[in-house]
Structure 1
Amino acid sequence: MSESLTQQSIVRQPLIQLIDVKKTYGSGSTEFLALKGIDLSIYAGEFVAIMGPSGSGKSTAMNILGCLDSPKYGQYLFKGAHVEDLTRDQHARLRRRFLGFVFQGFNLLARTTAQENVELPLLYRGDNAEKRQAAASKALASVGLAGWEHHTPAELSGGQQQRVAIARAIVTEPAVLLADEPTGNLDTQRSHEIMALLVALNRDHGITVLMVTHELDMAAYAHRIVTFVDGKIAKDEMNEHPTMPSSADLNMSDTNLTEVI
C-alpha cells in the first residue's frame, strides 16, 4: 500500500458535519435568514461549547444538530449519512438511537417519579418493563441519585432535577449528548456540579457533548468553543486549558459513574 493511501485510511472522519447549512424562517418580506451558510465538523469524543448572543443562530444550529429542525439549504451528515434526506420517522429513530437531550427547564413530568421520568425514552423505544427499570435505576445511580428513584420533581432540588434529566438523556446510551443551557436555572454550586458530571461522561465514557451556553465560566469546561454571531460562525477555537472540576464536584458527580452505560 502506498504512503498516500495509508495516510488517507487513517484520516479521522467527523461524527457530525454541517456543510453550507442555511436556515430561513418566514417568507417574502418577513423572511429571516437565521443561519447564513454554516460549516461545522464535530468529532467523536469532543466536548464542544456553542456560544453567542441571543439571535446569533446557536439555538437554531443546535435544533438542526438534534434533528428537531431541518436546514433550508446545505447538508447535515451524521456518521456519513445525509440527515437532510431522511424521513420524519428516520429522524425520530436517529434521535432515539444516537442522541440524548438535556434542557435548561429540565422538562420532567411533574406527577411521575424520577425512575418513571428516566424510563420514558426506553418506553418510547419499546423496551420491556424489566429492562426499563434496570436501566433507569443504573442511570440514576450514575448521576448520584441512588435512593431517589421514587421522588417526584417537586421533592427534588433544581440540581437533582437536572441530574434526573441527564440520567434520562443517557439511559439510551447515546453517542451524542446535546445540552441546551443545562445550568441556566441553577445556582453556582449546582452549576459546577452539573459541569463536572458532563466532563466525567465525556472523559470516562467518550460521549460527545455539545452544549449551548451564555456563561463563559461554563463554556470554559469544554475543549472547544464555537461562537456564533449574526447567523455565522465567528470563532471556532480549541480551549487549550479547560477548567478541571474541583475534587468536591468530582466526588459528587463520580458516584457510581463507572456503572453507567
Structure 2
Amino acid sequence: MNEHLSEQLIQLRGVSKRYGSGAAELLALKGIDLDIAAGEFVAIMGPSGSGKSTAMNILGCLDTPSSGQYLFKGAHVEALSRDQRARLRRRYLGFVFQGFNLLARTSAQENVELPLLYRGDSAAARRSAAAKALADVGLAGWEQHTPGELSGGQQQRVAIARAIVTQPAVVLADEPTGNLDTQRSHEIMGLLMALNRDHGITVLMVTHEPDMAAYARRMVTFVDGRIAKDVLNPNPTTAAPALSAVETV
C-alpha cells in the first residue's frame, strides 16, 4: 500500500457527456461514478470509443460534463468558470502525452520551465525548479539539449519533468509509452511508478497496452461509455531499470 494514499481526491458522480444533438447526438459517457484516492496509480483502459479519453479530458479539466458532478478536493469542478478551471489545472495537474509535445528548438531546461513561466514565477525560481525536475527523471546534465538531440525515451522524460515541475497533486498520462519501444516503455513506467511511490503523486494513465497497465495498482476499464470493470492489481509490475540509467542517444 502506498503510504501517501489517503483521502478521496477525485469523485465523479453520475457524470455523462453528450456531443452533438438530435440524430447526430453521441453519448460518450453514461452516468459514470468513480472515486480516486490521493496517492493512487490508476490505469484507465478500454477500446476506441469507450469513453476513456472523454473521462480523462473531464478529469484534467479540459472538458466539462453535460450532467453529473466532478469533485476535486471537495470543490465542484463542473460549477467552475473556464478561468477557474485553468487555475486548477496550473496548480494541481500535470499532463504527459503520447507525442511528447515539446518545443523543437527549445532546450530541455526551457521546455520544463514553461508551466512556471505561465504561472509567473521568477527566472531564478524557474531555473532551479526545472533543474530539480530534470534530475528527478534522470536527466541531470542534459538541460541544454534540444528534443532533436534526445532519444524518444529521453524526450518523454523531459515531458514528465515538465509535468511535475509545478509539484502537481495529479499527473494525467495519455498513452505515455505509445511512441516508444519496449525497453524505453518499461523505463518510463518505472519512472512513473517511482514518482507515485516516492513523491506521492497520483497517476492516472490511459493505455491500451496490458503490460503497461500492469504497473498500476488499479485498473479501470471503460466499455460503451460506462465503467465495465474496476479492479485492484495485487501484484503490480516492479521490474524496471533505475532512474539513473539514462539511455544514450
TM-score bucket (shorter structure): over 0.9
- Contact map agreement 2:138 2:243 (CA 8 A) in 1: no
- In terms of fraction of residues, the more helix-rich structure is 1
Structure 2: 5+ residue stretches without partners: 1-5
1:150 to 144, 155, 162: 144
User: 1:250 Cα deviation (Å)?
Assistant: 2.2
Corresponding residue number in structure 1 for 2:66: 72
- Contact map agreement 1:200 1:253 (CA 8 A) in 2: no
- Contact map agreement 2:191 2:243 (CA 8 A) in 1: no
User: 1:112 Cα deviation (Å)?
Assistant: 0.6
2:242 to 225, 250, 255: 250
Corresponding residue number in structure 1 for 2:221: 227
TM-score of the superposition, structure 1-length normalised?
0.91
- Contact map agreement 1:140 1:164 (CA 8 A) in 2: yes
Separation in structure 2 between the aligned mates of residue 26 and residue 106 of structure 1, nearest angstrom? 30
User: 1:147 Cα deviation (Å)?
Assistant: 1.0
Q: 3-state DSSP class of the match of 2:244?
A: helix
Amino acid at match of 2:83: D
Amino acid at match of 2:57: N
Deviations 1:221-256 (A, max 9, x none): 00000000000000000001111133xx125369xx
- Contact map agreement 1:143 1:167 (CA 8 A) in 2: yes
User: 1:14 Cα deviation (Å)?
Assistant: 1.2
Amino acid at match of 2:45: M
Separation in structure 2 between the aligned mates of residue 204 and residue 175 of structure 1, nearest angstrom? 13
Separation in structure 2 between the aligned mates of residue 46 and residue 17 of structure 1, nearest angstrom? 13
Separation in structure 1 between the aligned mates of residue 124 and residue 173 of structure 2, nearest angstrom? 28
Equivalenced residues, count = 241
Deviations 1:22-55 (A, max 9, x none): 0011111100000011000000000000000000
Corresponding residue number in structure 1 for 2:3: none
Structure 1: 5+ residue stretches without partners: 1-11, 255-261
Separation in structure 2 between the aligned mates of residue 166 and residue 253 of structure 1, nearest angstrom? 16
Q: 3-state DSSP class of the match of 1:225?
A: strand
The answer to whether residue 37 in structure 2 is matched with residue 30 in structure 1 is: no
Aligned residues: CA RMSD: 1.1
Q: What aligned pairs does 1:50-129 form with structure 2 within 5 A after superposition? A: 50-129=44-123
Deviations 1:57-107 (A, max 9, x none): 000000000000000000000000000000111101100000000000000
The answer to whether residue 191 in structure 2 is matched with residue 187 in structure 1 is: no
Separation in structure 2 between the aligned mates of residue 109 and residue 230 of structure 1, nearest angstrom? 36
| Percent of aligned pairs sharing the same letter | 79
Separation in structure 1 between the aligned mates of residue 47 and residue 244 of structure 2, nearest angstrom? 32
Amino acid at match of 1:179: A
2:196 to 202, 224, 232: 202
- Contact map agreement 1:193 1:252 (CA 8 A) in 2: no
Corresponding residue number in structure 2 for 1:177: 171
Amino acid at match of 2:242: L
User: 1:140 Cα deviation (Å)?
Assistant: 0.6
Separation in structure 1 between the aligned mates of residue 33 and residue 245 of structure 2, nearest angstrom? 34
Separation in structure 2 between the aligned mates of residue 36 and residue 253 of structure 1, nearest angstrom? 44
Separation in structure 1 between the aligned mates of residue 148 and residue 140 of structure 2, nearest angstrom? 17
Separation in structure 2 between the aligned mates of residue 239 and residue 104 of structure 1, nearest angstrom? 24
- Contact map agreement 1:197 1:253 (CA 8 A) in 2: no
